[in-house]
Chain A
């Protein structure tokens, strides 16, 4: 993997640079701009320094949204990762049924996010939805528009439905790369099923699994559309996650300063996680290159 040094390669990257600068750097600078200024309307702005950041850091609203966000991400990771690995271990290795499973499992990943919301909105309704109707018939009181617990359960089950396949597919790809010789050696050593998993499959899967975990963490961290369609952030503020709160603040109430400060702090968190992600990726590439 020794690459030649060639500074002219910059010309090949230039179009990407220009395009992404246009659609990322300019908007981001606008946000920075708003975060340090205040306005009384009419496009008259004056310097506000770091006031908005201080205000946001002391606002309960942001901390509450962050708390809900972190609990949501933690819960779905705790469910999706073990479940995904478990499903991957049970998937057929080749042949027709392997393709069949791959296709069906990919289906939820390719559904537009608001339709995912719509599907669960309908599915969970007490009067016309299979899930809501069945639960109520079983004597479990369930109504995701009014009940705090039901709303959270719906949003979490929806996310598990939507994204577990991603973890499973990545883990499956990792499993596929294990040579048969490893299993044969394990068989000769009479290793138990658990030991095969613990000492062969898990270490070999670790790289892709890290990618899966980081992807899921990041995507769940900026989830917007699905809970917005299903619960609209309610009941009350029960399912108002960071993105929902931010859009409410920026586009709904047009509080530009606080929203911008909020955005930047949000973005810094994402940047930090991206860096971890990148490091994992690069290490994985290096290991492959050997």
Chain B
């Protein structure tokens, strides 16, 4: 009994060899933590294998990819990465994507902050309907909006600009931002607002000086999710751009259909699109569930 319960909860789930070497202990109680470790090990392996294969291919030459089948690169090469980072038609894809994604994050946060505050603090005419209507936009299939967006932005002369994609992505990012922020803001006690007003703060000063620092983590998480959802979206950004604002995602798909041969470069481009998410993932790990569930967990 004490044997398992004293063990640190994570210790039993070390994947791989560490736990396997302990299989000498045959008590039944040992079984559960080891079973968990096995399950998690297998699941994480399932998740990492395709990603590993992509990284593996990005480090090979095309001759090696098509020639011999090998589990790891025999002739390690960074030529694929050099090609992307030195060829403007490739790296401009990343720059374009970053520009519209950042624009979108700023716009979404700017309009969502006051709205989320209003939803979390006040009740007003039609608030529930409005909140629901926002949700329907997060759930709207981009395919439905692709054609009308194309015509709308063409008619106002914004086709193939970064701002067009940024505005189009507000369709699902603004509702997302409002919902997540509202989830965080309701955790801040109302007494703080009231005290601040008694102390003579105006609404604007109170909001920027006192309230925003209190929900700083919420703002960070929201920014991350706006960034992420705009970054992973392809259908709208591809429809709304042709040359000047073409995102990296579209650059990748067009290369596939045009040549269909340069697997190494394609894989390297894929790896580079995973990097931004992978870099910050550690900081938001505890909020991932909350963000994907629109602030409701």
Chain A contacts to B: CB under 8 angstroms: 1, 3-10, 12-13, 15-17, 19-20, 22-24, 26-28, 30-31, 86-87, 90-99, 101-115, 118-120, 122-123, 127-131, 133, 161, 165-166, 169-170, 172-174, 208, 211-212, 215, 218, 221-222, 224-225, 229, 242-244, 246-247, 250-251, 256, 259, 263, 266-267, 270-271, 273-275, 277-278, 281, 284-285
Return chain A residues, CB-CB under 8 Å to B48.
Answer: 104
B39 within 8 Å of A (CB atoms): yes
Return chain B residues, CB-CB under 8 Å to A263.
Answer: 143-144
Q: In the docked arrangement, what's the CA distance between A120 and B36, Å?
A: 27
* Contact (A169, B289) CB under 8 Å given A27-B148, A30-B148: yes
* Contact (A31, B135) CB under 8 Å given A90-B36, A110-B232, A115-B252: no
Return chain B residues, CB-CB under 8 Å to A165.
Answer: 47
Q: Is the CB of B122 within 8 A of A102?
A: no
* Contact (A94, B140) CB under 8 Å given A12-B117, A111-B232, A113-B234: no
Q: Is the CB of A119 within 8 A of B50?
A: yes
Q: In the docked arrangement, what's the CA distance between A111 and B69, Å?
A: 26
For chain B residues 9-66, which have a beta carbon within 8 Å of chain A?
9-14, 35-36, 39-40, 43-44, 46-51, 53-54, 57, 65-66
Q: Is the CB of A174 within 8 A of B297?
A: yes
* Contact (A274, B135) CB under 8 Å given A104-B44, A169-B289: yes
Q: List 29 A-B contacts (CB under 8 A).
A: A8-B124, A9-B124, A10-B125, A13-B124, A16-B178, A23-B167, A24-B137, A27-B152, A30-B151, A97-B11, A98-B10, A104-B48, A105-B44, A110-B278, A115-B249, A128-B69, A129-B53, A161-B46, A170-B293, A170-B297, A173-B289, A218-B139, A246-B143, A251-B147, A251-B150, A267-B141, A273-B139, A277-B139, A284-B296
Q: In the docked arrangement, what's the CA distance between A161 and B152, Å?
A: 36
Partner of A112, one of B114, B147, B249, B288: B249
A266 nearest CB across to chain B (Å): 6
Q: Is the CB of A110 within 8 A of B49?
A: no
B228 within 8 Å of A (CB atoms): yes
**Which B-chain residue is minimally distant from A250 (CB atoms)?**
B147
B233 within 8 Å of A (CB atoms): yes
Interface of chain B, main secondary structure: helix
Return chain A residues, CB-CB under 8 Å to B102.
Answer: none
Return chain A residues, CB-CB under 8 Å to B171.
Answer: 20, 23-24
Return chain B residues, CB-CB under 8 Å to A285.
Answer: 296
* Contact (A172, B117) CB under 8 Å given A16-B174, A119-B54: no
Partner of B122, one of A5, A92, A120: A5
**Which B-chain residue is minimally distant from A280 (CB atoms)?**
B296
B161 within 8 Å of A (CB atoms): no
Return chain B residues, CB-CB under 8 Å to A17.
Answer: 130
Q: Is the CB of B145 within 8 A of A27?
A: yes
**Which A-chain residue is minimally distant from B43 (CB atoms)?**
A87
Q: Is the CB of B111 within 8 A of A19?
A: yes
Q: Is the CB of B145 within 8 A of A112?
A: no
B218 within 8 Å of A (CB atoms): no
Q: Is the CB of A20 within 8 A of B125?
A: no
Tell me which of B46, B124, B289 has the highest count of chain A C-beta atoms within 10 A of its own C-beta. Answer: B289
Q: In the docked arrangement, what's the CA distance between A275 and B128, Å?
A: 12
Q: In the docked arrangement, what's the CA distance between A103 and B124, Å?
A: 40
